[in-house]
Amino acid sequence: MPGIAQAQSAVSRVITHRPIRASVRLQALQHNFAQARRLAGEARTWAVIKANAYGHGQFQVARALQGLSDGFALLEVENALALRAAGLTQPMLLLEGFFAAEDVPVLARHDLTAAIHCREQLEMLAAAEARPARAYIKLNTGMNRLGFRPADLGAVRQQLERLGIRDLTLMSHFAGADTPEGIETQRQVFMQAAAGTGLPLCLANSAALIRYPEARGDWVRPGIMLYGGSPFAETPADALGLEPVMTLESRLIGIQELRAGERVGYGGTFTAPGPMRIGIVACGYADGYPRHAPTGTPVAVAGHPSRTLGRVSMDMLVVDLQDMPEVRVGAPVTLWGVGEGGRVDADAVAAAAGTISYELFCALAPRVPMEWR
């Protein structure tokens, strides 16, 4: 209906004038991939682009890494098919395998590799008329999410080979590569299961790739490090040689002068200790900024480090403008990344909010305009 289409177009034009935006630096992505490649040694690399490339844009990220990565790891068959339709011919690994019997012939037709992790998937493969040529066998070595017990590996391998799937790789996933617990217990379980099989191995995520060279195997699976996030709570990304890829920035849309004792925002969770100047930013939890981010979460305003004040609202948040008498409405604000407002470490924002940068990136709302450069 023309009336509805016109109204939607008008709404779109209004929304794009709101100052919040996200930008993705593809050169930084490529730099981070080069770091992963260096750490991988002779191992081949799956660039993990699940969850819309951690919120960075599946198609744009895949194109930027086309010709660099040996393959792409993601979740959904439909997203793999969309990449194939866009002309990407690299190997693609479905990290959770397939979810329905009708997916099996699609894997074969489009040369997709699935992780096989349960008996039900084996039954679907057995019932299919066409099957893929290759698969990953996922072993549960202690994560206790997906995977076969190591004792079942021999039987699983035999069943897959009877079905004509002979190009096999063993994989597992570490639960503690980013913690003091480390990987050794799980790695030993995996290596004992893999001994004598002669099969290629795929183990290392970002944390294991950075910290444990013994876990390289034949394929590695870097994820968060590609996007400039640190997998370690105690180590900032820049100390790992990683560059921020996504920037979330907005502008001041209002300024208030507070008297001592006046409170800020819903619930009045921040009280001015004395006269102070505050700024209102066009960014809230409906944009993907964490509502639970407390007073003191880092931001940058017009080149000055600052902090949030009070509770994050749906469409706005408040920042401290103390010692910034020159700042006016329209001043740039960087929420995370490297922007006109300054530099703010996404991991520091996440730590203040009690979460991880993975969640910040993935939670970015569709209403936030995004650009790639």
Active site residues: 50, 266
- In angstroms, rounded to a whole number, what is the distance separating the alpha carbons of residues 259 and 254? 17
Could you tell me the two tokens for 61? 């990220």
- How far, in Å, CA of 329 to CA of 148, rounded? 58
The enclosing H or E element of 149 equals none
Between CA 24 and CA 112 the distance in angstroms is 28
Based on its alpha-carbon atoms, the radius of gyration of the chain, rounded to whole angstroms, reads 24
Q: For residues 66 and 271, give the distance between their C-alpha atoms in angstroms, rounded to a whole number.
A: 51
Strands 342-344 and 332-339: antiparallel
Angle at 293 between CA 292 and CA 297, to 5 degrees: 170
Residue at token pair 């698969």: 135
Whole-angstrom distance, CA of residue 181 vs CA of residue 78: 36
Instruction: Name every residue whose Cβ is closer than 8 Å to that of residue 103 and which is 6 or more positions away in sequence.
Output: 77
Residue bearing tokens 């057995």: 126
Look at residues 135, 213, 144 and name the one whose alpha carbon lies nearest to residue 174: 144
For residues 1-19, b (16+ Cβ closer than 10 Å) or e, as one string?
eeeeeeeeeeeeeeeeebb
Question: How many CA atoms lie less than 13 Å away from 272 in the CB half-sphere?
Answer: 20
b (16+ CB within 10 A) / e for 108-117: eeeebbbbbb
CB 150 within 8 A of CB 139: yes
